[in-house]
Amino acid sequence: MSDKKTIVVALGGNAITREHEEGTIPQQFANTRRSLAGVVDLIQMGYRVVITHGNGPQVGNELIRVEEAARLVPFLPLGILVADTEGGMGYMIEQCLQNVMHDRGVHKEVACLVTQVLVDKDDPSLKNPTKFVGPFYDESRIETLRRERGWIIKEDPGRGYRRVVPSPAPRHIIAQNVIKLLVENGIIVIAAGGGGVPAYREENGWLEGVDAVIDKDLASAVLGAEIGAQELMILTEVERVALNFGKPNQRFLDRITVAEAQQYFDEGHFPSGSMGPKIQAAINFIQSGGERVVITSIDKTTEAAHGRAGTVITP
């Protein structure tokens, strides 16, 4: 069905670190291996695959490590931590993918790129942090953390309280031509991990890093559009998108147009901390020339590729 179509597969945070887990490296490797079974199915179906991934839990943990060790070693800024997690998590995904493909008899090369993503240095979100990172906290600890550590903490609706950091909108994937060249030559690419490393251009043309975390779904949409991908698959914790989520009148959506997605988005059905960025990414991708977006759970990747699961958004 793919006829050598290019698909960007955006792995959610639960692909590597699951809620209520400690998040040890063995757990992360085990979760990653499970998450990639459906991705290998896509490869065997003939898709050219680009993999992106989130890093919210991991980069939040890295911030804690840096702050705890501040008296012993030099402080590392958030932009560097995004690059660090993109490299480390990319290594896990690359190795796990190679192992799963080996067991399936699939012979493909894999490349992982630490990817810079252009943002606006005056993006208003830099002064209004919204991106959830790190572990969840009980409400009883919030004021202490705010007072003692200077964190900005907000409620992740229905899940608990988490630290938030700035999250500017992605404008351009700086290595888009490299990624496209690799994909066109049959190489599976892991890129824009954690949304990519945010950077802006100085007046003299130099690149400069930004201490922020870009939303990986929004970055995936930009990446997909710039390399000419036909499809975007966003893998998350739920099988389908729902209106009135968690309420008695909840209604799941199987197939909607981009206009309907925009209408539901404008009506406030998709919170900014959960489904909102995914729907916005889907809208952006379709409006930029994409043919199809599928939002589904990691366990339903294969079924969704065949149209038997997930929410499909089309022009």
Q: What is the pLDDT of residues 279-314, one digit of tens each?
A: 999 999 999 999 999 999 998 998 998 889 999 999
Which CATH code for domain 6-119+172-314? 3.40.1160.10
Residue 74, both tokens? 């030099």
Q: Is 108 a catalytic residue?
A: no
Which pLDDT value is given to residue 1?
A: 42
Write the pLDDT tens digit of every residue in 204-224. Answer: 999 999 999 999 999 999 999
Q: Is residue 144's pLDDT more than 70?
A: yes
Q: What is the mean pLDDT of residues 159-178?
A: 94
Q: How confident is the model at residue 156 (pLDDT cuts 50, 70, 90)?
A: confident
Q: How confident is the model at residue 194 (pLDDT cuts 50, 70, 90)?
A: very high
Q: Is 31 a catalytic residue?
A: no
Which pLDDT value is given to residue 3?
A: 59
Q: What is the mean pLDDT of residues 211-240?
A: 96
pTM of this prediction exceeds 0.75: yes
- Determine the distance from the C-alpha atom of residue 232 to the mean position of all C-alpha atoms in its chain, rounded to a whole number: 12
Instruction: Indicate which residue of 13, 79, 224, 290 is catalytic.
Output: 13
Q: Is 131 a catalytic residue?
A: yes
Q: Is 13 a catalytic residue?
A: yes
Q: Is 300 a catalytic residue?
A: no
Instruction: Indicate which residue of 12, 90, 195, 216 is catalytic.
Output: 216
Instruction: Indicate which residue of 12, 14, 38, 56 is catalytic.
Output: 14
Q: Which residues pair with 117 in a beta bridge?
A: 173, 198
Instruction: Indicate which residue of 56, 278, 284, 290 is catalytic.
Output: 278
Instruction: Indicate which residue of 12, 60, 90, 131 is catalytic.
Output: 131
Write the pLDDT tens digit of every residue in 108-136. Answer: 999 999 999 999 999 999 999 988 888 88
